[in-house]
């Protein structure tokens, strides 16, 4: 514990020192992050962005049976539950603000939207308009299809059972067709939130220039499991942050999930090599050249069957300092473990854990439907669960040891634009 606290303090001191100076030259000297704008660097930047886009474009859509067989079935569902808690909390905060301001609409920028995995979360949040954007064009098209399918499905539910329609449609807004071209609808009955879709690298292109309405003001920007890619360089990180924050209204939020740089560095230092660690689910490997950089702190990250890409460290004190430029202040930063401890206290959140299949049943149910019927990890990964089950004889909801270690390298964060 003492070593970890010392490491964190040292990094924080470096960050504070690096941001004290104003000139670009001094910043370059302190943190080694200000790159020369040479053709070689431009080529490297484009190659990495292309690699990331190619990786996500080539991810295949899994069938239902394949998902149930995935080693990280519960890990992915648990991460989804964490995102649900974050999005739900922020939407609740925004709605409370809207009551005070007599405002009804909620506009969202879903930055690095991927295939649209959060569409239903936004739908449950009763939002009015979303701009979906991602670097991977194929992912954006899959997101568009998911949006259309979800919209059509919600209309079917509404028509077949009007009593259930309130679960999907509580808003008084403009017709969907007009909202698709007008992000600022009048208040009339509205079935589903409007949307636009943009393929762009948010770390290299200014998104405001691509919106249908360049004057749009968002209530929330969400960037899930992606913001850290921009920390390849200071220039990219600054533009990504600008895109996230510049179009937020006063009181608006920038939220996300990202790897915890402190935890990653701690585990790397405590590993046998000092540069690599992991388990059967994930693996992280640094090279000496990039270790501990504030910008360009590159490591290779592999997650079973899903991700195999270079990623970059994001130190929260540095991000907090950078965000001040856009009048943003940190509301909270919590580990996934802290999110679980806090939000699972409420019965409705615990219920959602099981409905989302975010926890594995121990012992497994051989007759289970639509979920794995055997342990996903090795028996040794469930020793604690076995001990508890032996004494209480009640089935438990658990994550395997390896999955738990993998998910514990992440944090959620929420910034808010100051109301002046």
pLDDT of residue 292: 81
Which of 26-40, 182-196, 316-330 shows the highest mean pLDDT?
316-330
Q: What is the mean pLDDT of residues 114-122?
A: 97
Residue 399 pLDDT grade (very low, low, confident, very high; cuts 50, 70, 90): confident
pLDDT tier at 110 (50, 70, 90 boundaries)? Answer: very high
Which of 20-24, 99-103, 176-180, 262-266 shows the lowest mean pLDDT across its residues? 176-180
Q: What is the mean pLDDT of the segment spanning 379-385?
A: 59
pLDDT at 40 over 90: no
Distance CA 146, CA 116 (A): 7
The reported pLDDT for the residue numbered 258 is 98
Confidence check: pLDDT of 395 > 50 = yes
CATH of domain 54-160+175-259+310-343+412-417: 3.40.50.150
Distance CA 386, CA 393 (A): 10
Tokens 């969202």: give the residue.
108
pLDDT cut 90: percent of the chain above it = 57
Which of 276-280, 353-357, 358-362, 383-387 is the most confident on average?
A: 276-280
* pLDDT the model gives residue 269: 94
Domain positions in the chain are 54-160+175-259+310-343+412-417, 354-403
CA-to-CA dists, residue 271 to 130, 274, 275, 283, 293, angstroms: 43, 5, 7, 12, 19
Mean pLDDT of 146-169: 68
CA distance 276 to 236: 26
Question: 222 pairs with which residues across the strands?
Answer: 110, 255
Higher-pLDDT residue of 339, 396: 339
Confidence of residue 304 (pLDDT cuts 50, 70, 90): confident
Query: What pLDDT was estimated at residue 22?
Result: 37
pLDDT of residue 54: 53
* pLDDT of 406 strictly over 80: yes
pLDDT at 290: 80
* Segment 336-352 mean pLDDT: 94
**Is the separation of the CB atoms in 212 and 185 below 8 Å?**
no
Residue 108 has pLDDT above 60, yes or no: yes
93-107 pLDDT tens trace? 999 999 888 888 999
Task: Name the residue with higher pLDDT: 169 or 123.
Answer: 123
pLDDT at 398: 75
The residue among 104 and 334 whose pLDDT is bigger is: 334
Q: Name residue 360's beta-bridge partners.
A: 398
When pLDDT is cut at 50, 70 and 90, the band that residue 151 belongs to is: very high
Calpha distance 187→242 (Å, rounded): 30
Kindly report which listed range (1-15, 19-33, 74-88, 240-254) carries the lowest average pLDDT score.
19-33
Region 118-145: mean pLDDT is 97
Q: How confident is the model at residue 2, as a pLDDT?
A: 40
Nearest by Cα to 396 from 410, 378, 375:
375
Q: How many other β-carbons are positioned within 10 Å of the β-carbon of residue 338?
A: 13
Show the tokens assigned to 70.
């995935």
Q: Give Cα separations from 15 to 107, 259, 262 (angstroms).
A: 33, 17, 13
Rounded mean pLDDT, 329-354: 95
pTM of the full structure: 0.79
Query: Please, what is the average pLDDT of the chain?
Result: 80
- Tens of pLDDT, residue by residue over 357-380, are 888 766 666 666 656 655 555 665
What pLDDT does residue 200 have? 98
Q: What average pLDDT score do residues 180-185 get? A: 50
Q: Let me know if 43 is exposed, middle or buried by CB neighbors in 10 A (0-12, 13-18, 19+).
A: exposed
């Amino acid at each position: 514990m003492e070593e970890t606290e010392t490491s964190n303090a040292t990094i924080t001191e470096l960050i504070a020192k690096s941001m004290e100076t104003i000139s670009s030259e001094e910043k370059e000297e302190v943190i080694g992050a200000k790159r020369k704008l040479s053709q070689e660097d431009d080529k490297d930047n484009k190659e990495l962005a292309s690699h990331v886009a190619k990786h996500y474009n080539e991810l295949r859509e899994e069938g239902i049976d394949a998902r149930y067989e995935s080693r990280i079935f519960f890990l992915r569902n648990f991460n989804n539950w964490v995102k649900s808690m974050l999005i739900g909390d922020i939407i609740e905060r925004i709605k409370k603000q809207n009551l005070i301001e007599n405002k009804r609409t909620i506009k969202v920028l879903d930055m690095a939207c991927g295939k649209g995995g959060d569409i239903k979360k936004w739908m449950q949040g009763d939002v009015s308009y979303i701009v979906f954007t991602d670097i991977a064009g194929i992912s954006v098209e899959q997101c568009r299809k998911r949006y259309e399918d979800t919209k059509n499905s919600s209309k079917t539910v509404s028509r077949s059972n009007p009593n259930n329609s309130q679960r999907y449609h509580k808003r008084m807004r403009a017709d969907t067709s007009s909202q698709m071209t007008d992000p600022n609808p009048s208040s009339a009955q509205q079935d589903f939130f409007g949307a636009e879709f943009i393929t762009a690298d948010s770390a290299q292109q200014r998104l405001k220039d691509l919106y249908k309405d360049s004057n749009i003001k968002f209530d929330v920007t969400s960037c899930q499991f992606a913001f850290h890619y921009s920390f390849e360089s200071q220039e990219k990180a600054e533009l990504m942050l600008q895109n996230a924050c510049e179009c937020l209204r006063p009181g608006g939020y920038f939220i996300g999930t990202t790897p915890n740089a402190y935890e990653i560095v701690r585990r790397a230092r405590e590993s046998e090599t000092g540069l690599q660690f992991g388990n059967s689910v994930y693996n992280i490997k640094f090279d000496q050249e990039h270790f501990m950089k504030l910008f360009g702190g590159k490591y290779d990250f592999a997650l079973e069957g899903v991700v195999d890409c270079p990623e970059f460290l994001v130190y929260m004190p540095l991000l907090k300092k950078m965000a001040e430029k856009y009048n943003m202040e940190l509301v909270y930063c919590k580990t996934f473990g802290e999110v679980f401890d806090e939000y699972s206290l409420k019965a409705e959140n615990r219920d959602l854990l099981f409905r989302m299949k975010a926890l594995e049943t121990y012992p497994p149910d051989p007759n289970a439907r639509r979920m794995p019927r055997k342990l996903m990890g090795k028996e040794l990964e469930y020793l604690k669960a076995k001990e508890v089950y032996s004494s209480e004889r009640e089935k438990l909801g658990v994550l395997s040891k390896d999955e738990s270690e993998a998910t514990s390298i992440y944090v959620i964060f929420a910034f808010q634009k100051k109301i002046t």
